[in-house]
Amino acid sequence: MRSLLIVFAALGLVPSAACHEHQRSLGSIATEDGAPSYRDELLSLHKNLVSIPSISGDENAVGKFLVDYLTERGYHADLQFVAPSDSTPKGKERFNVLAWKGKRMATPKVVVSSHIDVVPPHIPYGIDSGKVTKETMIRGRGSVDAKGSVASMITALNQLDSANAINTNDVMLVFVVGEEAGGAGMQAFNNSISKMKPPPQFKAVIFGEPTENQLACGHKGGLFCTVVATGVPGHSGYPWLGKSANELMVRAMTKILDADLGSSKLFGNTTFNIGTFNGGLAGNVIPETARVKFVTRVAIGPEATGQLVVKEKIQAILDEVDEDAFEMVCDHGYGSVECDCEVDGFKQVTVNYGTDIPNLAGNHTRYLYGPGTILVAHGARENLTVADLEEAVEGYQKLIVHALKP
């Protein structure tokens, strides 16, 4: 079989030589005695990743940093171009970073992957003052979701390589863009490998997301939709002469929130979040239109169609309120996602957020693991501890070794 390097080159991957001017200095950090040998490397890498803004669509700078960092440490690192989004600055390119060690890259047995984009706004890196200990807190956008995973994954693979614990040709790093905004990066990677004849068969893929360093047995699915209600405008003094789109929407949303949209033993109840609600022109005008964007976290499967069951339930409620007034358009969705969590030494958990797992097709074992808690991700106080990162390094090493077993 041809190497992935040759095939990826044919699919538009670009070598890393042009990225070196973007390398940043990794400063030394004073740490406590007895710290693991890799602590300075880990914390410095994490600091650089978090310090570089990389809101979804504008990941160019952090991607270039990663390519240079990995290349200078003996990796082959290439860029896989991804179509720009509406938020990509003019003149900048989006790309995934694919990296491996060894003289060549045949089809890897294990892929280790996370995302390098973050949600807005950028929050600068911060760390507790004084000597660094395991309890030292680190803050900043992406410190948890998911640059903590990226830094820990790279450090873990470096440790395994230094110890000659694995064949480095068997492992590839895949760091993608756009996970927080629809998954364009992983979809691009998936499309590229699907064009290969035959497509590569990975043994396992390890996905990095904040799981509090527990091995996730899976996560809820998702349904991402917009609903528009159309009414009849008029004077607010004579509401019976019009039809209020806002009133229709409020009645429909209340029914949906109170409805049973499906549940399962593993994932609990399907939940419904009204993300935005816009409608009307003025307080004394019967509103003609109302618009809601919602996300449903789907607790039922199967992965390919569970979301369709939920969509039908929501559509039935809209029709019950007014069969002519509503139009629902869903961008994408998937049912609940199950992962392998039967690995010795790991606690187990299920999570309610979405990941890139459904965007990568294939009959491989799927692991979901990473440092930090989702409860502070996407918020103004995103943070984790040094111990969280170091535990993740050890955890990723164990997972990689486990995944490579015959």
Catalytic residues: 179
Q: How many C-alpha atoms does 257 have within 13 Å on its Cβ side?
A: 10
Please give the span between the terminal C-alpha atoms of the chain, in angstroms, as a whole number.
Answer: 20
CA distance 378 to 371: 15
Shortest CA distance to 353 belongs to which of 193, 201, 207, 187?
Answer: 207
Q: Please report which helix (H) or strand (E) contains residue 173, including its range.
A: strand 171-176
CA distance 341 to 344: 9
Backbone angles phi, psi at 295, to 5 degrees: -130, 125
CA distance 393 to 350: 21
Which position has the token pair 């957020």? 353
Q: Please report which helix (H) or strand (E) contains residue 367, including its range.
A: strand 365-369
Angle at 95 between CA 92 and CA 98, to 5 degrees: 150
Which position has the token pair 């607790």? 299
Q: Please report which helix (H) or strand (E) contains residue 36, including its range.
A: none
